[in-house]
A and B are shown apart, each in its own frame.
Chain A
């Protein structure tokens, strides 16, 4: 069991998300930064689909009552075990009674804590992911609270593993985000598309798991900002009447009636979600074939990221 001593502002249980429910208006949820999430699971020997914690800006403090392993990835939140600094992006072995604390993030927004065995919360519509707005999944469909106790599936001893320094993403600076134009790029003026691809766009504090709200040069519509409502893909860049883009993320509405100028490549969605309010993004257009090549490349980076520790 894991006892939550301090929950942090928004710590939720997530797995890789729900499939097949968007036709009923229920978003997939799951981790905003899939790369960091999967790496955390692999560091403790879990399947990629195991449930773990997503922590936002400030991490939780928790106590474990059985021995096991954890790994912390994603946003740069300092990690300590019983007050002593512990490594990030590496397996951490814990004894019964150990208290783990994640501090405030230095870069990035979301950190992930995976537990060997994976978190044991009920499957809801095939997933353990929390969808807060819909009060679904995770722990009673909500963020963790002080006093919550989480069960962990039993597991064997985890091999020590780590991620090499050069494979750890840098969440600082002004990330270049690759996008595929469309589905409604034809509803914008050339100047509007040039503005989007010229950037930069600043991330606003109102951003959340539903979408990253941005501010920058106006993305000008050619003829109105409303369309007949259609489906909204992960990473869709929706542009309402004010011309300011919103990148829709894992808790997005399944459908909507605003024009979508472009869609962020799946391998860069995590980078959008890791940009802090005040940080800026720049968008670059690629074609579908190039986007698929980038996806294969990011799959290869993920496969190579986690190394066995050499004794």
Chain B
């Protein structure tokens, strides 16, 4: 464990130096404990793969005292303290080359048929390590090793929101139109970020995500319901 000062209003609590479910779970558990105990002076927390950024008010708590009280919580930060995670069902259309723009190329690169690639991707369960980069964008892993693939040599400048991509061991879903280096296998009609909604972001750190294969007709009908703001995502 290391405490790395990030200026005068934040400290980065580093619990490891790798991307693993084990380290990330401890990060999320530490965040949960800090929120639950209401540590004096803590304003906001941001979990990532292996560290927790803690924003604090130095007028309310001294740096050393804050680090000491966080250090005290670290040994308790295990899966056992976390509330049950949510399971989120995300419909995803892989079949239309207009949506899954890189599906065929990724399959060729991996030496698989497109159908095998889709079955492998949709057959897995993904853990949301954290949300970041753009509003509502999940950083996930969970793919079978067979479909680990280097990122695109030339990132594209625009990736439409809802695009489901893979790169390295990671899977991500673009939440707003943005540049990107992931291979786009398909697209979900759900809005990962809807600025007008009372809860603008769909996913949370710790969620478990499964992709449900849908065809283009269902993609279009769900898109219409989402546009009318009457869609209820399946979360359990």
A binds B: yes
In the complex, what residue of chain B is closest to A186 when comparing beta carbons? Answer: B4
**Residues of B88-143 contacting chain A, CB below 8 A:** 130-137, 139
Give chain B residues whose Cβ lies under 8 Å from the Cβ of A291. Answer: 7-8
Bitwise, A9-48 to B at CB < 8 A (1) or not (0) is: 0000000000110111110000000000000000000000
Contact B58 A295 (CB under 8 A): yes
Q: Is the interface of B mostly helix, strand, loop or mixed?
A: loop
Contact A23 B45 (CB under 8 A): yes
Contact B45 A183 (CB under 8 A): no
Instruction: List 21 A–B pairs whose Cβ atoms lie within 8 Å, in order of A's numbering.
Output: A20-B44, A22-B53, A23-B131, A24-B200, A25-B137, A125-B200, A133-B176, A182-B6, A228-B17, A228-B49, A229-B132, A229-B139, A230-B14, A231-B46, A231-B48, A232-B53, A234-B9, A253-B133, A265-B7, A288-B8, A299-B59
A205 at the interface (CB under 8 A from B): no
A20 and B131 CA atoms in complex are apart in Å by 13
Interface size on A, residues (CB 8 A): 46
Contact A292 B46 (CB under 8 A): no
A24 and B46 CA atoms in complex are apart in Å by 8
Interface residues of B (CB under 8 A from A): 4-10, 12, 14, 17-19, 31, 43-53, 55, 58-59, 62-63, 130-137, 139, 175-176, 193, 195, 200-201, 204-205
Contact A265 B175 (CB under 8 A): no
A175 and B70 CA atoms in complex are apart in Å by 36
Contact A260 B6 (CB under 8 A): yes
Q: Which of A180, A230, A236, A291 has the most CB of B within 10 A?
A: A230
A217 and B14 CA atoms in complex are apart in Å by 30
Give chain A residues whose Cβ lies under 8 Å from the Cβ of B134. Answer: 25, 133-134, 253
Give chain B residues whose Cβ lies under 8 Å from the Cβ of A179. Answer: 7
Give chain B residues whose Cβ lies under 8 Å from the Cβ of A266. Answer: 7-9
Report, nearest first, the 10 A-B pairs whose CB atoms are least far apart.
Answer: A231-B53, A255-B132, A263-B7, A183-B4, A291-B8, A233-B6, A231-B46, A233-B10, A24-B201, A25-B135
Instruction: Output the least CB separation between B126 and chain A (Å).
Output: 17
A90 and B139 CA atoms in complex are apart in Å by 48
Assuming the contacts A23-B45, A230-B48, asked whether A254 and B132 have C-beta atoms less than 8 A apart, the reply is yes
In the complex, what residue of chain A is closest to B63 when comparing beta carbons? Answer: A288
In the complex, what residue of chain A is closest to B58 when comparing beta carbons? Answer: A292
A141 at the interface (CB under 8 A from B): yes
Q: Which residue of the partner chain, among A25, A124, A133, contacts B201 with CB atoms under 8 Å? A: A25
Instruction: Output the least CB separation between A143 and chain B (Å).
Output: 15
Contact A182 B5 (CB under 8 A): yes
Give chain A residues whose Cβ lies under 8 Å from the Cβ of B10. Answer: 231, 233-234, 263
Contact A255 B4 (CB under 8 A): no
Contact A235 B46 (CB under 8 A): no
**Residues of A102-160 contacting chain B, CB below 8 A:** 124-125, 133-136, 141
**Residues of A161-186 contacting chain B, CB below 8 A:** 179-180, 182-184
